[in-house]
Amino acid sequence: MSGIIEVQNVRYAYEEGGALAVNDVSFTVEEGEFTAILGRNGSGKSTLAKLLNGLYQPDSGTVLVRGMSTADETHIWDIRQTAGMVFQNPDNQLVATMVREDVAFGLENTGVATEEMPGRIESALRAVGMEAFMDRAPHLLSGGQKQRVAIAGILAMRPRIIIFDEATAMLDPAGRREVFDTVERLNREGITILWITHFMEEAARCRRIHVMDGGRIVLSGTPSEIFADAEALRDLRLDVPAMKQLADRLQAQGIPVSGDVLQVEDMVREVKRLAAAI
């Protein structure tokens, strides 16, 4: 079975002969999945993201998006339309002086007919809950709102996959939640999500995690598999989510909490279960 994104033995160095930023990486993303790529700064996760829609070309190996190779010049615009990308800094990815026009930017680039645009812009903005801000200037919005506009700009192009390159790293906790909730909803509506992050709590909410370190994928699995091995994560200088730590400590104290606790909601459920048992 072939996935919507297939990465095979990809290597990439910023300078010829220099250190490999991405070193022999292979993985597959299935249609509809919500996958996290987790790693600390300099682990190569952002570089990997840019290899996925042809912004960078691999030095060796192949990247296939819906069967199209990013190395094939003739498909590059199809690939970028299929796999949209939201970047870290909300200020540096909005082009126009008005929200409506910014969302239109990708549509204009791909030659969508003028009559079709207003409808697509409106539904994209509605999908991220920003339809009331259509005629605002982007610099007057909050960080989370700007990121949602950026997402709308991608959504309007009707992608199958959206790659988020540390899209919440520059936001405050409220903005982070606002954006992540939006993304989870989009995933439920069928869009494949690739979430690149260094926040454990966010990775814990994804369905699959690939952990990167030194340009390689060192661990892959579901969140409970990944976070079960706290030692291995600590060796990679990554943390276990706070709730998982709490659960481990409670277990050490002899309290029978489930080892699958990763999020606050899980903990609440566990505590209620234990309280009922008493």
Partner 1 sequence: MLKNITLGQYYPAESVVHRLDPRVKIVLLIAFVAAVFLVPNLSGFVLIALYLALACKLSKLPVKLLIKSIKPLRFILIFTFILNLFFTGGTTELLNLGFAVLTKEGLLNAIRYSLRLVFLVLGSSLLTLTTQPVTLTDGLERLLSPLKVIHFPAHEMAMMMTIALRFIPTLLEEADKIMKAQSARGSDFETGRLLERVKAMVPLLVPLFVSAFRRAGDLAMAMEARCYHGGEGRTRLHVLKMQKNDWIAIGATAVLIVLVIVEGRIFSV
154 in contact with partner 1 (CB under 8 A): yes
Candidates 53, 145, 168, 182: give the one binding partner 1 (CB under 8 A): 53
* C-alpha distances in Å from residue 271, one per residue of 205, 213, 257, 258, 277: 20, 35, 8, 10, 10
113 near partner 1, rule: CB under 8 A: yes
- Residue 90 CB, nearest approach to partner 1 (Å): 10
By the rule CB under 8 A, 137 interacts with partner 1: yes
Considering only the stretches 48-56, 205-213, 215-223, 262-270, report the one whose residues sit in contact with partner 1 under the rule CB under 8 A: 48-56
- Return the residues of window 245-274 that contact partner 1 according to CB under 8 A: none
**In whole angstroms, how far apart are CA 275 and each of 133, 240, 250, 255, 258?**
46, 25, 14, 11, 14
SS3 state of residue 189? coil
C-alpha to C-alpha distance for 222 and 241, rounded to whole angstroms: 14
Asked if 193 touches partner 1 (CB under 8 A), the answer is no
Which lies closer to partner 1 via its Cβ, residue 27 or residue 105? Answer: 105
Task: Please say which residue, 93 or 197, places its beta carbon nearer to partner 1.
Answer: 93
Q: At closest approach, how far in Å is the CB of 204 from partner 1?
A: 27
Burial of residue 39 (CB within 10 Å: 0-12, 13-18, 19+) is buried
| Shorter beta-carbon distance to partner 1: residue 139 or 277 | 139
Q: Which of 3, 23, 40, 55 binds partner 1 (CB under 8 A)?
A: 55
Distance of closest approach, residue 97 Cβ to partner 1, in angstroms? 5
- Closer to partner 1 by CB, 104 or 194: give it: 104
CA atoms within 13 A on the CB side of 125: 23
β-pairing verdict for 60-65 and 5-13: antiparallel
What is the 3-state secondary structure of 86-123?
A: ECCCHHHCCCCCCHHHHHHHHHHHCCCCHHHHHHHHHH
CA distances from 254 to 35, 218, 258, 264, 273 (A): 34, 32, 12, 20, 16
> Is residue 107 part of the contact set for partner 1 (CB under 8 A)?
yes
Residue 169 contacts partner 1 per CB under 8 A: no
Q: What is residue 141's three-state secondary structure?
A: coil
For partner 1, the binding residues (CB under 8 A) are 50, 53, 55, 77, 80-81, 84-85, 87, 89, 91-98, 100-101, 104-114, 117-118, 121, 137-139, 153-154, 157
